[in-house]
Amino acid sequence: MIPARALSALDPAEARAFTDHLAGCEECRRELQEWESTAAAMAVSANPMEPSPKVRERILDEIRNESKSEVIPFRSATRNIWTSFGSLGAIAAVILLTALIAGLVVLWRQNNARQLELARAQEFMELATTPGAKTMRLDGVDLGAGATAKLAYDKNGHAMLMADKLPKVPQGKAYQLWFIVGKNPPMPGKTFVPDDTGKGMLEDQVPATAMDSAVFAITMEPVSGVDAPTGPIYLRSSTIN
């Protein structure tokens, strides 16, 4: 019954009974996950297809709107207190309260940023320590002097780059990763924009021809990326293992 459930092919009555059973059976839940993993492999047999770039834009717009809307209750709550108090003392208290909340929000954001940084570092370490993974260090050159970056990629070419102390990029610009094999034209990677402290992170796919021996470089380019580098190199790799 579990393989059929992994394919969601149980008839409704069986499905309900099995769902009830799962709630109290850790062993069946574990086994179901294994079968779901096998079933999921079937997805790969479908022809991979490229969705419209607008889908990506819509998703990112939506989550940004959601992030903004999460702030709205704060605003409306403040407005209600504001109108209900009405005295100068109350106004002063509200100002103090608002300042306190703002301070807490700043601390919360700082804490979130640290957690995010930790999460990224952990993901990087997990990738770098997978069997067969390679790790590179990128050092700042010329305009990027002082900047550093680490790049790791696994045997499947899934790569993560973590950069630090990069100069700020002007509006409309971003850093772009390049894979350079011998004297061949550099192969373009993705772009990223560092935060205010110069930290930046990127996930990309190393081309098959660059898996064994390549120089990894970072240049500043238009934010949408380019097919051939136009800007100076800010970071360049040297193999460390």
**Interface residues with another protein (CB under 8 A)?**
3-4, 6-12, 30, 33-52, 54-56, 58-60, 62-64, 66-67, 112, 115-116, 119-120, 122-123, 131, 156-158, 190, 192, 201-203, 205, 207-208
Which residues are CB-neighbours of 169 under 8 A, at least 6 positions away?
Answer: 175, 193, 194, 220
The encoded tokens of residue 211 equal 């898996």
Closest approach, Cβ 82 to another protein, in A, equals 28
CA neighbor of 144 nearest in space, from 218, 236, 234, 232: 234
- Among residues 149 and 201, whose Cβ is nearest to another protein? 201
Task: Give CA–CA dist 49/46, Å, rounded.
Answer: 9
The encoded tokens of residue 72 equal 């709205």
Closest approach, Cβ 89 to another protein, in A, equals 37
- Among residues 79 and 114, whose Cβ is nearest to another protein? 114
Neighbours of 175 (CB within 10 A): 29
Neighbours of 196 (CB within 10 A): 6
- Among residues 52 and 87, whose Cβ is nearest to another protein? 52
- Among residues 120 and 173, whose Cβ is nearest to another protein? 120
The H or E element spanning position 201 is strand 200-205
Closest approach, Cβ 172 to another protein, in A, equals 18
In whole angstroms, what separates CA 20 from the centre of its chain? 36
Closest approach, Cβ 84 to another protein, in A, equals 32
- Among residues 49 and 88, whose Cβ is nearest to another protein? 49
- Among residues 147 and 210, whose Cβ is nearest to another protein? 210
Residue whose pair of structure tokens reads 């390049």 in the numeric block: 178
Secondary structure (3-state) at 240: coil
Strands 173-180 and 187-192: antiparallel
Closest approach, Cβ 9 to another protein, in A, equals 4
Closest approach, Cβ 92 to another protein, in A, equals 34
